[in-house]
């Protein structure tokens, strides 16, 4: 079918936009300030490097005058934060303009003749763009150095515990009721709390590395292919596939960060929970409850944990090197739809997304695979100076992006397996606690922790989907406030997200975010159940165990409140009391039931698609607003901070929505724009097909 056009335009802007020309400041580019090279040489002092930049790799100074001038030009652009154009050499001219640029260059530079003889006599000019290097704190060297030292410290501490355990047990006791509560807490919970927190700290870095990798690629000299930058998604992809995809694209920082984080959030808590060994074995403890018990360190698991921690430290060093030998190209954080819009209005990049309103990721990939893009002065732009070769365009055959417009965990294909997994785990708990299957946790205590880690990672997929989709869900409901455009939950840490969502009254994000925190706690409490013999608990409750009264001689025989109180303090055959066992079991079941309830709520309320495609790449988001009239409001905002951008948009007094609207070219488009829109988006229905039939070229049918 041919392209639908209006046969008459209401204003000249629409006519220009329809012909492919951006209007009212869009795509006008930047006018650099012109500086003569000799003036720059005379006035530019030596640029001192900051403490943090001293860790960056930099080439040694060169004696080449032209190269020295290029270095000065780049330093001057960085210092000003503006685009400058440096005139390398003036062609002889009959017009004397030396008075415009300052004093005589001969007096200023005695070696001017030497410089002129070295450089080409033909005038050359070079444009220099500032090269900012903003990074979020989890990507800066102090934070990463702390994580590396923490990894080494934990490895050393683990080895010291093992060496101490070989000489004498870490703890000796006859019954759990006789253990000091503080010491019990340290032994049972602190190691797991440390390993779980360790994983969360690495996760903070991993999320930021994946989120900003596209900007790193765009800021490289010569830019990057679309498939390597604006059309990549590392946030919503399956965690175990990310390192392979990153290596295929030579995104080594993402590969290293992903592997490091996977080790930190999966292996470290699993091994950390299994490293403590309760002696004697379960059957011996059941046969003789009064027998002395000890807690030691398992040699094999301890050495494995130490090696993993040292491996994480080494990978962390590689990550520091990767992140400090390249620039992000960012002046500040890029948050939300507004952040991308402000970066895309300076150049004509929006013209590359023509007719992509409802395009699938595969179609976007095939259309953009012949394009290269750069990040210059906080602005996204096509790079037409370096053509894309056939070999480069065919390098990535597959877009690797999901074609379904709805995230997997918000569809039945993801919800049902997740719920089945949760319910099976809930059923597994009483199985390994109260039946003969407890031998499994005796032989492999790490199994329970590993299953809890799998549930936590699955829940993370739900959390990621909700965080990514929330601004677009609000826009799909129409008349969303301006701050929705600057809302970005993907850039918030684990602890901040639920609080910010609660403050914003985004209840679904709050519930899921709180569930993510509880999922970390699930690992802690499930681990404490692995060494409990549930059948002993049942006997104790029924008063059948011979050890019950032996450990609580003051327990009255006539029942009552005192009887119940003393019952909670009775020790079981392991390192748990009745009270600690009941509390751990209750919290574990509560967390799992909470996950079931929230996941069901998410599926019930958000299972229907409300977007043509997932907004998981820069290209996908830009395609939603390439013809939006609201882009006029973003002209000149490329260097705004998030707070300033929010204030700027709120000052306009506009509301925004996602749906069908009349674009700047007068045609009907689907995407994000200021209200009033012409219609809401209904998945599978093309509003433009039934709207304005008089503007359709019927002769093409």
Convert the pLDDT of each residue in 230-243 to its tens digit.
999 999 888 889 99
pLDDT at 8 over 60: no
Query: What pLDDT sits at residue 541?
Result: 66
Do 55 and 165 reside in the same domain of the chain?
no
User: What is the chain's mean pLDDT, rounded?
Assistant: 81
Residues 6+ apart with CB under 8 A from 231: 361, 364, 365, 368, 399, 401, 617, 618, 619
Residue 587 within any structural domain of the chain: yes
DSSP 577: B
Q: How many residues can be counted in the chain? A: 701
Asked whether residue 684 is domain-assigned, the answer is no
Q: How many CB atoms lie within 10 A of CB 625?
A: 25
Return the pLDDT at 292: 78
Q: What is the pLDDT of residues 483-521, one digit of tens each?
A: 999 999 998 888 899 999 999 999 999 999 999 999 998
| pLDDT-derived band at 102, boundaries 50, 70, 90 | very low
pLDDT digits (tens, 9 = 90+) for 411-429: 999 999 999 999 999 998 8
Paired residues of 656 in beta bridges: 480, 674
Question: Which of 297-311, 662-676, 683-697 has the least mean pLDDT?
Answer: 683-697
- The number of domains in the chain is 3
Choice among 6-20, 374-388, 415-429, 550-564 with the minimum mean pLDDT:
550-564
Say if 396 falls within a structural domain: no
Higher pLDDT, 128 or 480: 480
Backbone φ and ψ for 680, nearest 5 degrees, come out as -80, 160
The last residue of one of the domains, among 584, 606, 628, is 606
- Strand order through the sheet with 293-297: 171-173, 293-297, 276-279
Residue 649 vs residue 285, higher pLDDT: 649
Q: 155 and 123, same structural domain?
A: no
pLDDT at 115 (0 to 100): 40
How confident is residue 119, by pLDDT bands cut at 50, 70 and 90? Answer: very low
Same-domain status, 204 and 291: yes
159 and 194 assigned to the same domain = yes
pLDDT level of residue 410 (50, 70, 90 thresholds): very high
Within-domain flag for 502: yes
Pick from 70, 100, 128: which residue ends a domain?
Answer: 128
User: Are 113 and 159 members of one domain?
Assistant: no
Q: pTM of the full predicted structure? A: 0.83
Q: Which domain holds residue 472?
A: 408-533+572-606
146-168 pLDDT tens trace: 999 999 999 999 999 999 888 88
For the segment 95-123, the average pLDDT, to the nearest whole number, is 42
- Mean pLDDT value across residues 642-655: 93
Q: What is the pLDDT of residues 578-607, one digit of tens each?
A: 777 788 889 999 999 999 999 999 999 999
pLDDT for the residue numbered 489:
93
Residues 6+ apart with CB under 8 A from 119: 65, 66, 88, 89
Q: In what order do the strands lie in the sheet with 668-674?
A: 668-674, 656-662, 679-680
Extended beta strands in 622-662, E state: 656-662
Rounded Cα distance between 369 and 352, Å, is 11
Q: Given pLDDT bands bounded at 50, 70 and 90, which one contains residue 26?
A: confident
Please indicate, yes or no, whether residues 242 and 320 belong to a single structural domain of this protein: yes
Region 612-621 average pLDDT: 94
């Amino acid at each position: 079918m041919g392209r639908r056009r209006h046969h008459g335009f209401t204003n000249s802007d629409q006519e220009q936009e329809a012909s492919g020309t951006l209007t009212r400041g869009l795509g006008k580019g930047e006018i650099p300030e012109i500086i003569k090279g000799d003036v720059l040489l005379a006035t530019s002092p030596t640029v001192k490097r900051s403490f943090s930049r001293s860790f960056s790799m930099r080439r040694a100074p060169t004696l080449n005058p032209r190269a020295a001038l290029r270095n000065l030009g780049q330093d001057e652009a960085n210092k000003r934060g503006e685009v400058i154009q440096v005139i390398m050499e003036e062609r002889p001219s009959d017009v004397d303009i030396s008075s415009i640029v300052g004093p005589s260059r001969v007096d200023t530079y005695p070696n001017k003749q030497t410089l002129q003889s070295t450089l080409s006599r033909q005038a050359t000019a070079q444009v220099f763009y500032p090269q900012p290097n903003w990074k979020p704190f989890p990507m800066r060297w102090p934070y990463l150095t702390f994580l590396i030292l923490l990894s080494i410290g934990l490895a050393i501490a683990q080895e010291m515990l093992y060496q101490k355990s070989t000489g004498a047990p870490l703890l000796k006791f006859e019954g759990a009721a006789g253990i000091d509560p503080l010491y019990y807490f340290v032994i049972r919970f602190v190691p797991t709390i440390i390993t779980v927190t360790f994983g969360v700290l690495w996760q903070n870095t991993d999320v930021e590395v994946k989120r900003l990798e596209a900007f790193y690629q765009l800021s490289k000299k010569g830019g990057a292919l679309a498939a390597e930058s604006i059309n990549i998604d590392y946030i919503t992809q399956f965690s175990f596939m990310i390192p392979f995809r990153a290596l295929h694209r030579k995104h080594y920082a993402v590969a290293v960060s992903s592997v490091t984080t996977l080790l930190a959030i999966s292996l470290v808590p699993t091994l950390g929970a299994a490293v403590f060994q309760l002696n004697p074995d379960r059957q011996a403890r059941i046969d003789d409850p009064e027998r002395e018990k000890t807690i030691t360190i398992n040699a094999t698991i301890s050495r494995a944990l130490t090696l993993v921690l040292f491996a994480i430290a080494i990978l962390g060093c590689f990550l520091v090197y990767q992140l400090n030998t390249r620039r992000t190209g960012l002046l500040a954080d890029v948050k939300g739809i507004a952040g991308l819009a402000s970066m895309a209005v300076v150049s004509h990049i929006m013209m590359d997304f023509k007719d992509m309103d409802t395009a699938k990721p595969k179609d976007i990939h095939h259309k953009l695979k012949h394009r290269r893009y750069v990040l210059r002065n906080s602005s996204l732009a096509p790079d037409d100076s370096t053509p894309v070769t056939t070999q480069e365009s065919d390098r990535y055959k597959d877009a690797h992006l999901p074609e379904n417009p709805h995230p997997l965990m918000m569809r039945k294909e993801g919800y049902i397996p997740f719920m089945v997994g949760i319910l099976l785990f809930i059923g597994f708990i009483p199985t390994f606690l109260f039946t003969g299957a407890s031998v499994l946790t005796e032989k492999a205590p790490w199994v329970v922790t590993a299953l809890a880690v799998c549930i936590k990672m699955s829940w993370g997929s739900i959390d990621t989907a909700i965080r990514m989709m929330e601004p677009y869900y609000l826009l799909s409901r129409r008349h969303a406030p301006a701050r929705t455009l600057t809302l970005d939950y993907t850039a918030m840490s684990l602890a901040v997200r639920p609080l910010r969502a609660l403050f914003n009254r985004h209840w679904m994000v709050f519930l899921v975010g709180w569930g993510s925190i509880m999922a970390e706690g699930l690992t802690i409490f499930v681990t404490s159940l692995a060494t409990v013999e549930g059948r002993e608990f049942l006997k104790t409750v029924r008063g059948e165990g011979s050890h019950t009264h032996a450990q609580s001689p003051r327990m009255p025989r006539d029942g009552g409140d005192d009887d119940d109180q003393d019952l909670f303090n009775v020790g079981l055959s392991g390192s748990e009391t009745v009270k600690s066992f009941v509390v751990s079991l209750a919290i574990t079941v509560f967390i799992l039931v909470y996950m079931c309830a929230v996941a069901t709520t998410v599926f019930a309320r958000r299972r229907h698609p409300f977007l043509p495609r997932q907004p998981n790449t820069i290209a996908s988001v830009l395609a939603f607003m390439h013809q939006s009239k609201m882009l006029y409001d973003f002209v000149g905002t490329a260097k705004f901070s998030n707070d300033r951008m929010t204030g700027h948009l709120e000052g306009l007094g506009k509301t925004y929505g996602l749906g069908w609207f009349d674009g700047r070219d007068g045609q009907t488009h689907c995407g994000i724009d200021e209200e009033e829109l012409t219609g809401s988006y209904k998945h599978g229905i093309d509003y433009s097909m039934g709207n304005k039939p008089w503007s359709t070229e019927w002769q093409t049918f």
